[in-house]
Structure 1
Amino acid sequence: MKDLDEAADRYAVGEVTNEDLPMIATLALARGVNSPALTELACLHRSDCRDAPGLFLEALDELGLLEAIDTAWDSRAATVLLRRAENHAADLLADAGTPAARSAKIAALLHRLAHTEDPLNSDLSELAAYFEVLTVDWDEGYLERAVLADQMRLNARRLLDHRY
């Protein structure tokens, strides 16, 4: 069922299309996950998927995968984008990967989040700009990389502490 939850996250942020949903349902059924809406979704043809989003949401609900989240896709998209940005921030603090690569990913996610229909916090746009500037400074060599990495970590901590 974790695969379905992840597919719902990817669907919410536009990484999965309506045409992909029947195959996602088919794969879930093949793994032994079953619900009436999931079965109906798996039977849809890629060329006729107008009912796919509703069936997908119904299947997620039937399987108990909508607990503690708003069922609106925009709200889920905002939650997914923030969670991904926070995961990259945690990785940055753990020195996983280069600071600039993590910073660029955080900036992109926060900019996207700030421009969703249901942004969680408009102040995230300012934090996204800080990450973006730090990434450019890193790439262009404007400051010592150790100083920039420290600034990236400071902003990562701000994000994780919800101090935007």
Structure 2
Amino acid sequence: MHHLYLRRQKQDDQRVQYTYQFDDHGLSPANQILTRLFRQMILAVEESLTTIEVEYVDVFLAKQLGSERAKQLLSLLGAKKENIVENKKGEVVLSRIFQAPLTEEALHYFKRIQDLEELSAYALCSVEEKKVEVYFAKFMRVNVNPMEEERFFQLLDEDRIRYKVV
């Protein structure tokens, strides 16, 4: 297995962003090495996480999971009629977006996710920013402070995930 490329971008003196571009390797979003990378991103910033933001496409989600499992997942993650916003083009609903407090159950789901494409786009957030984000199987990224950055690389090494910072 080759190294996973993590693109480093300094945000300011206290924040750095690492981005994995799915196109760099051609690995499936269900590839175990990528779900492990995602889990390590979460573990590195877990203490600061407070909310989630999820964007999904009804038809795609139902096709992926089946309508009953899709409803259960959205409920588990905190989707309610009151917090769902429709992303429309004219009269056509392109996707739906919601924000909800991050519960233990939702965090457990994300730590155990088997396919990063199960939901279209999602972010685990702190009060200030999106800390871990997956966007339409285009990229996955983590925003870290110096302590979290150190923890992130420690976790990658412990999990034997081969990476190269570019």
TM-score under structure 1 normalisation?
A: 0.27
Asked which structure has the greater CA Rg, the reply is 1
Q: Say which structure is richer in helix.
A: 1
Q: Say which structure is richer in strand.
A: 2
